[in-house]
Amino acid sequence: MTLRMSSLFLRTLREDPADAEVPSHKLLVRAGYVRRVAPGIYSWLPLGYTVLRKVERIVREEMVRMGAQEVHFPALIPREIYETSHRWTEYGQNLFRLKDRKDADYLLGPTHEELFTLLVKGEYSSYKDYPVSLFQIQTKYRDEARPRAGILRGREFVMKDSYSFDLDDEGLAKSYAAHRAAYQKTFERLGLDYRIVSAVSGAMGGSASEEFLAPTDSGEDTFVQCDNCDYAANTEAVEIAVPPAVDASQHPDAQVLDTPDTPTIATLVERLNSLRLGREFSGADTLKNVVMKSRAPGADWELLVVGVPGDREVDLKRLAGQLEPTEVAQAEPADLARQPRLVKGYIGPQILKEIGVRYLVDPLVVPGSAWVTGANEQDKHAAFVVRGRDFEPDGEIGAVEIRDGDRCARCGGHLAIARGIEIGHIFQLGRKYADAFELDALGPDGKSIRITMGSYGIGVSRAVAALAEQHHDEVGLIWPRSVAPADVHIVVAGKEEQLAAAEALAADLDARGLSVLLDDRAAVSAGVKFKDAELIGVPTVVVVGRGLADGVVEVRDRAAGTRDDVRLETAADEVAARCS
């Protein structure tokens, strides 16, 4: 196929759009791939739509190859289907809701667990039917509080979602592994650099949920990666190495200190060091007790105190991820007021058992360790407060904010913090939806078997943005061949003879099955054509210009920046070879 730029619906921009911040957004708009319609809502122009379809095709091929079958659901869904799974209310404000003419409630699907589950329930009823995996590539709608970064995080976006249905956990594990392998293949073919990171902590659920992240500075997800082993995890799920437990009996007795006006760790450390207790103290020697509140599903809010070393912050997201489905939040002054024995700024764990407040510590607060912590009295702290002697937590929970350089729990290597774009997520859902919709199969013994499900997503339109983030330079995009809007971009830098030669070359390449973007614009200078070619980012560019007098054309490699003169007669062979 040959696209002629003289008639292609395309207008490139010389300047960055004012509302764009990240490279993919700037370049996709400047190069005429997408245009904004409303916040988080974009139109795809011919070049952009071609790239989007190529990504889609690769995703589809790999899904089919792993044995999943393609279906297509409506985006417009009646309320009752979402009521059954309680998500009409649970999904909250992110759900686009609308009414039909009869005033009945509808929604625009943000994801399709319900429809998939209902479809399978309606069609299949025997154990002989399973396992089965279904997928669709479809437009999803989420009314994000703050869409951002162009098509990286939109309110309307294209997603491939698939679901596996199995009779038992082993089956689910197999389906999960098959999807995982298919995703690896998919992202390799797309030319995306990616990491598979654990999305739940090892303590909670093994490998039941993993994210595929494309590392880039504009990414919204923070993850850590070990510099020594292959451990990688979302910061919400990461586990870090902790010091060994200590013998509690080696510490002196706890001792109450006068520490007026030391409500913060910094002021406390300063005061401690002025007391000349025979050693220097740092924030890491203090135990900070943060008052939170938690609420189990269906229960009331109750106070929860979390203990972390004083030089560390509590990472609320990390905490929430591990406590789910119990909610957690920072305690309000009103919550604190109901426990008069908790003295703000001077809270210590010594009395928590007595007053019935749940206490969790970060694993860094190892058994037998001694701390300077609050004495539960205004202006007083206590030193040599020992875990296992002076207090005993109700449990451990990874609560501290991870730092660059923290040690890997597996191998002791250094963990580096990096950012990435979530381009895929695989998740062993289990029986949540099967329970809600009573999805069962009749077993060989005449008893029903509750089906177990896996859920797997790839952000298709987001992958286009991620590709742009990873493949560009100062002057434009540089697409991997597998997704480029064309195989070859021919620049006609001259008049009649050059145009004729370029047309002939384009026809030759076209006949070989390559797609050609032919810049045959008559009234545009060569300089503009070169700039546009760089901006658009087709991997191979052929310049038919002044060299034609000597019988050569110039073949450029956009990524490598190389330029080679090639005889016109062999140009098609050369280009075809580069494109294979």
Which residues of the shown chain bind RNA in the complex (CB under 7 A)? 11-19, 21, 30, 38-40, 94, 142, 144-149, 211, 220-221, 316-317, 320, 422, 425, 457, 475, 493-495, 525-528, 530-532, 534-535, 543-548, 554, 563
CA 375 to chain centre: 43
* Residue placing its CB nearer to RNA in the complex, 70 or 313: 313
* Residue placing its CB nearer to RNA in the complex, 290 or 411: 290
Contact 202, 194 (CB under 8 A): no
**Preceding peptide of 485 cis, ω within 30°:** no
Shortest gap between Cβ of 131 and RNA (angstroms)? 23
Distances, alpha carbon 365 to alpha carbons 46, 249, 380, 404, in Å = 58, 16, 21, 19
| CA pair distance 167, 142, nearest whole angstrom | 32
* Residue placing its CB nearer to RNA in the complex, 390 or 422: 422
Name the DSSP letter for residue 491: E
Give the number of other CB atoms < 10 A from CB of residue 355. Answer: 12
Shortest gap between Cβ of 91 and RNA (angstroms)? 8
* Residue placing its CB nearer to RNA in the complex, 147 or 363: 147
Selection from 375, 377, 399, 398 nearest residue 385 by Cα: 375
Shortest gap between Cβ of 432 and RNA (angstroms)? 13
Q: Is 276 left (phi over 0), alpha (psi -120 to 50) or beta?
A: left
Give the number of other CB atoms < 10 A from CB of residue 511. Answer: 9
Q: 540-543: long-range contacts at Cβ-Cβ below 8 A with a sequence spacing of 24 or more?
A: 540/487, 540/488, 540/489, 540/575, 540/578, 540/579, 541/488, 541/489, 541/490, 541/491, 542/488, 542/489, 542/490, 542/491, 542/502, 542/505, 542/571, 542/575, 543/490, 543/491, 543/493
Selection from 239, 270, 241 nearest residue 257 by Cα: 270
Amino acid at 135: F
| CA pair distance 137, 249, nearest whole angstrom | 62
**Preceding peptide of 131 cis, ω within 30°:** yes
Shortest gap between Cβ of 497 and RNA (angstroms)? 12
Shortest gap between Cβ of 250 and RNA (angstroms)? 40
Shortest gap between Cβ of 320 and RNA (angstroms)? 7
* Residue placing its CB nearer to RNA in the complex, 54 or 471: 471
* Residue placing its CB nearer to RNA in the complex, 130 or 183: 183
* Residue placing its CB nearer to RNA in the complex, 334 or 511: 334
| CA pair distance 364, 381, nearest whole angstrom | 20
Shortest gap between Cβ of 157 and RNA (angstroms)? 11
| CA pair distance 16, 20, nearest whole angstrom | 7
Shortest gap between Cβ of 363 and RNA (angstroms)? 22
Shortest gap between Cβ of 504 and RNA (angstroms)? 16
* Residue placing its CB nearer to RNA in the complex, 316 or 442: 316
Tell me if residue 201 falls in helix, strand or coil.
coil
Contact 259, 379 (CB under 8 A): yes
Shortest gap between Cβ of 528 and RNA (angstroms)? 4
* Residue placing its CB nearer to RNA in the complex, 90 or 354: 90
* Residue placing its CB nearer to RNA in the complex, 110 or 309: 110
